[in-house]
Amino acid sequence: MKGIFTALMCSFDEQGNINEQGLREIVRHNIDQSKVDGLYVNGSTGENFLITTEMKKRIFEIVKDEAGDQVKLIAQIGSLNIDEAVELGKFVTELKYDAISAVTPFYYKFDFEEIKDYYETIINEVNNDMIIYSIPALTGVNMSLDQFGELLAHDRIIGVKFTAPDFYLLERLRHAFPDKLIYSGFDEMLLPASVLNIDGAIGSTFNVNGKRAREIFELAQQGKITEALEIQRTTNDLISAILANGLYQTIKEMLKTKGVDAGYCRKPMKQISAEKVARAKELAEKYM
Ligand code: NAY
């Protein structure tokens, strides 16, 4: 379960329906071209919070069918509707996903007791390993080292996807939990996270920059920081350009340039202008 995991995009048509062939092509691109170690399915990058339960299940099925056992698969099943989270957790466990992951419950200001109960309810009902998905910038949920510790005390809570720029907390977590899996979630900060000895990374830009991500991660593990920094700089030139142009839309347009039918984003995400589509094409030509 260590290494580079792509936070998988999903291909939707212009009406917002799943484009099955396009999704299969995105999976194949990540496995065959980028050679990532695994896929993180139905996370933020998969536009998970914009789709129905049935669509989530269909995406889990298509990805498993296409990827088989070629790479590790983590299913993001977290939901504000805890019954949905449990239902999806059971569903992907039947499909033989390697682990589940759940975003911290958001929108309402849940206290830690409620957050803990959410994770315990899911792991008590679903027979699979759990990776906590912490992304405070989007959820507003900031957990302390002790609170992470209370959750990680469960044998079946095996790790954290840490999408935050708090390197002090990341170092403390790594030090306190050497046997748990810690994944970095911000691709633009992969090198500093790798220096802190994380186990892997889960990122959206790996859909188009997977090979560089692996190089950064592996060079850092070998202590070759100058070389790794060089690649992080190139990566960050790309990430800055993607963020300025529209994150998920630009990654989809870059994939299309390479013959991958990555489709469109779901509303309320907008479609980008022809000018931005042209910019994405330039980025694909320069960086992919
Ligand atoms: C997810 O669930 O898809 C992720 O959280 C992957 C992590 C990404 N976060 C978001 C919100 O997209 O890869 C990052 C991020 O896109 C990247 O670092 C650019 O900021």
Work out the mean pLDDT of the chain and round it to a whole number.
98
**186, 216, 242, 269: residue to mutate for ligand 1 pocket, most atoms within 8 A of CB:** 186
pLDDT for residue 132:
98
Mean pLDDT of 4-10: 98
> Nearest Cα to 174, choosing from 151, 148, 213?
148
What distances in angstroms separate CA 61 from CA 54, 55, 73, 76, 288, one per listed residue?
A: 11, 10, 12, 13, 28
| Separation of CA 44 and ligand 1 centre (Å) | 7
With H, G, I as helix, E, B as strand and everything else as coil, classify residue 76: strand
The single residue listed with the structure tokens 């466990």 is 93
Other beta carbons within 10 angstroms of residue 240's beta carbon come to 11
Nearest CA to ligand 1 atom 12: 45
Q: Which tens digit of pLDDT belongs to each residue from 175-189?
A: 999 999 999 999 999
Mean pLDDT of 72-83: 98
Show the beta-strand stretches assigned E in the chain. 3-7, 38-41, 72-76, 99-103, 130-134, 157-162, 181-184, 200-203
pLDDT for residue 16:
98
Place 266 in a pLDDT band, splitting at 50, 70 and 90. very high
- Domains detected in the chain: 3-225 (3.20.20.70)
CA 152, 73, 5, 75 dihedral sign is negative
Place 203 in a pLDDT band, splitting at 50, 70 and 90. very high
Place 171 in a pLDDT band, splitting at 50, 70 and 90. very high
At 38, which amino acid appears? G
